[in-house]
Every structure is written in C-alpha cells, then in structure tokens.
Amino acid sequence: MQTFQSRSKVAVLIFFTGLLVTGCAGAFANDAKRLGDAASGDSAGANTPPAKPSEVPQFHWSEGKKSCAHFYKNGQYYKTTSSPDIALSFSVQRCDDFEMARLVISNQSNHPIDVLPLNFALVSGGEVIPSLQLGSVYQSQADSANKYARITGGQYRPGAGYVLPSTVRSTSSGQFSENGTVVKYAGSTSGGTTDDFGLIRRIASRLASKSADKAEKIRNIQKDMLNANTLLPGESISGNVLFAKQRKTTNAQLFEASIDGSRFTFDWESK
C-alpha cells in the first residue's frame, strides 16, 4: 500500500513537471520568435540605405560645353543652353534705369511647364536680387503725374503723357510737396496756358511732366516684359526680365532661372 502511494506521488510529480517544461519551452519559443523578428527588422533597417535628398538638375552656360551655344539676332548676342525638357536663350540688354535681360524659353517636353519670373534672380557679389514687377512702380509715377497736373488743370494720359488743355480755368486751392517741402497755392479764375498760378504753376507743371515721362517709359518697358505663363508642349515665349540697377562692380554677376524643377544659370555679361 505504501509502495502504491509512493508510485502515485512520483507519477503526479512527473505529470506536473512535464506541464511546466512544456509551458516553459512554449514561452521560450515565442520569446525567441519575437527576438528573431526584432533582429530581422533591425537588420533590414540597417541594410536599407537612407533616402537621398532630391537634387535639382543644374544647367550652366559655358562656351564649348555640350548643349551650349550662342547666336546673334538683330545685333544682339544670345547664349543658349538646354535640358531634356527646356531650351533657354539669354541676352543682356542695355537699359539706363534697370538691369535687363531678354529671354527666349521653349518647352521641349511632353507636359505643360510653368514659367514664373518671380523664380528668376540676379546674383551679384553674393547677394540674391529678385526680379522686378513694375505694376506698382508705374502706378506710383502715374499718380504723381496726376497730382501735379491737377494743379495746372492738366492731366496724365497713358500713351500721351502730360497733357495741358489750351485753356485752363480753375478756382481750386490746395498744396503739394516737393522734396519734403509743403507748398500751398491759391486758385485763380483767369484762363490760359501760361502763368495761371505764377511760380507754383510752373513748378507743378515741371514735376507733372517729369513724372509723366517716367510713367511712360515704364509703361513702354512693361509691354515687352516676361509675365507668368504656362507653356504647352512645343510652345515658346520671349520677353524681358528686370532687376534693380546695380553699381558697377568687379564681382561676378550671375543670372539664374528656376523652371520646372531645373536651375539654369548664365554669367551676366554683355557683348
């Protein structure tokens, strides 16, 4: 009887020991699998190269370089370079009031391309100078011309400049500013084209004429400016881009244009 009880105890002990061993083995297998998965993931991550930052294709004009050339048109010297999608010609123009360049841009791709002059710049002495939009400059000069013209009874007319009627009749009074000095004037009921307001009228007439001339000059330059456009495949566009006038410098100047994800550069020099 005692032997049977001893054997029963041994059997129960073996049974529970088996359960314990089986459970530990299963847990160890699961832990090993998790560790293996983690190691595999780490290994995969370690073997995957980091993503490279996207590089902007660069196209710089250089004499004799592949895809670079030059030509003359109406006495103007043009440099031309191209990417697989875009052909760009560049020529420095003479202008007293601005730095100006003429561009011819052609879409050689099979998709539309946006041409945005705001993405063009002149790099001078390390300084990046954005292209100019002349709408506000023109309006400022036109408003100034009209301000002074009203004193004389005349007006600024786009395309005609400062216009003074053959007979002027005014009873207005007011003031204007010249070089920071406020000048007051009194109206007159006399007519004629000369000396209605004496000295004040002559000053106002001179300032109106000067502002009108500037407005007309800018207006004419605007007619041939390059504006924002979308070029369809096979289309081309030409026009001028303007920059603020720079002092003469020995530093190299560079024109750069970003178009359709590519960057085109030309040395700023006339010939």
Helix (H, G, I), strand (E, B) or coil at 113: strand
Residue in this structure with the two tokens 């007319």, named with its chain if needed? 157
The residues facing 89 across adjacent strands are 80, 104
Q: What is the pLDDT along the chain (271 residues), one digit of tens a residue?
A: 444 444 444 444 444 444 444 444 444 344 434 434 444 444 444 444 554 556 888 999 998 888 899 999 988 999 999 999 999 999 999 888 888 999 999 999 999 999 999 999 999 878 899 998 888 788 888 888 888 888 877 888 888 888 876 544 444 555 555 545 555 555 544 444 444 446 777 888 888 888 888 888 888 888 889 999 999 999 999 999 999 888 776 567 899 999 999 999 999 986 6
Residue 129 to residue 255: CA distance in whole angstroms: 10
CB 109 within 8 A of CB 87: no
CB 141 within 8 A of CB 211: yes
What is the value of pTM for the model shown? 0.62
Residue 217 to residue 141: CA distance in whole angstroms: 10
Residue 56 CB partners (closer than 8 Å, separation 6+): 258, 261, 262, 263
Tokens of 124: 């001078």
